[in-house]
Amino acid sequence: MDFALTPEQRAFQQTVIRFATRELNEEVTPRDGRGEFSREAWNRCARFGIQGLPVPEAYGGAGADALQITLAMEALGYGCRDNGLLFSLNAQMWSCEMPLVRSGSEDQKRRYLPGLCDGRLIGVQAMTEPTSGSDAFGLRTTARRDGDRYVLNGSKTFITNAPVADLFVVFATVDPDAPLKGLTAFLVERDTPGLTIGRPLHKMGLRTSPMAELAFEECVVPPAALLGGVGAGAAIFNSSMDWERSCILGCALGTMRRQLERCIEYAKTRHQFGQPIGKFQAVSHTIAEMRVRLETARLFLYKVGWMKATGQRTGLESAMVKLYVSECFLQSSLDAVQVFGGYGYMAEYELERDLRDAVGSRIYSGTSEIQKNIIAAHLGL
């Protein structure tokens, strides 16, 4: 059993860190205050090759495996302080690109994947509805067959990237009496008549990742918009969620490492009561716990990345790693603010933003409670 990264993997991570540090940190705090998405940073990521990591080379991507992508996400989280940008990148990669890679027709792949890789297109998934959040399969959006086309009606909410997206993977049911059985995925372009993108939603954190509601009113799409065929929606959604849960918190590793390094430095240089605050056990033990969380979270994420890269099933592991790393991320963000005290509460120190962003990790891609349900189900409970 070898836990060491190869020289190539270490060099790759350092390259990503240098890129992120140099190219992705312009005016993060002001943009967070305005809730402003940076298309320029998005395009820089595309030119570097981030969006193309999980996409086969034949469609403009890099064909990287899950472990290499996890290493890249960790490096991005360390070098880039814009957690919202990173969240939007993950949203496209796992909920739009992977469904296309795994379930798209050859025409669909060639039509959309190159643009998603090179930054010309932004994509996202549209599943969550006002009345179906954790109960994802209780959706009410319908797809009615009308001759050789489908007509979508319904609404979606909390749709990441919606204000700037060009392509939506929309889930609707062709059988309102059996929504799960009839669940079907459609590729809907932004300018499709009948699709309305609502007002931007203002969030506690991840503010530089745009979010909005969607409405479908007699929205007509052709049969070519079907992704994976009628009734394939549940399998497509579950697969995309497995990938998302396995990889989306890779960025949190990098952020946790950056927080730890800042806390160590601060504990050495901040003096109170005649000595560095790191000499007080209340502070040093807190930082020690941050280090333990970082190490265990990294091992767990790397293991899941290795499992996916070697073709193993990860339904149980992806739920466990999503639960564990999100809880670690939130607690370490709380600890970092506490170590810095009043300064940690100030926006200019950027730790309060990390904390606000970390709260969302316990909710998106399935809440912590839902992950526990999935884990329990795998245990036969």
- Catalytic residue set: 244
- Rounded CA-CA distance 229/103 in Å is 9
The 3-state secondary structure of 5-20, one letter per residue: CCHHHHHHHHHHHHHH
Report which DSSP code applies to 114.
H
- Rounded CA-CA distance 317/320 in Å is 5
Report which DSSP code applies to 201.
P
| Distances 210 to 88, 91, 356 between C-alpha atoms, Å | 8, 11, 15
Of the chain, the end-to-end C-alpha distance in Å amounts to 32
Which of 211, 301, 212 minimizes the C-alpha distance to 255?
Answer: 301
Which of 6, 14, 77, 130 minimizes the C-alpha distance to 259?
Answer: 77
Q: What six digits make up the tokens of 89?
A: 């990148």
Q: Could you tell me which residues come within 8 angstroms of residue 190 by beta carbon, excluding any fewer than 6 positions away? A: 165, 166, 167, 168, 197
For the chain, give percent helix, strand, coil, nearest 5: 55, 15, 30
The answer for 161, left when phi > 0, alpha when psi is -120 to 50, beta otherwise, is left
Q: Per residue in 165-201, is it b (16+ CB within 10 Å) or e — as a string?
A: bbbbbbbbbbeeeebeebbbbbbbeeebeebebeeeb
Asked if residue 214 lies in contact with residue 162, where contact means CB atoms within 8 angstroms, the answer is: yes
**Collapsing DSSP states into helix, strand and coil, what is residue 300?**
helix
For residue 239, give the amino acid letter: S
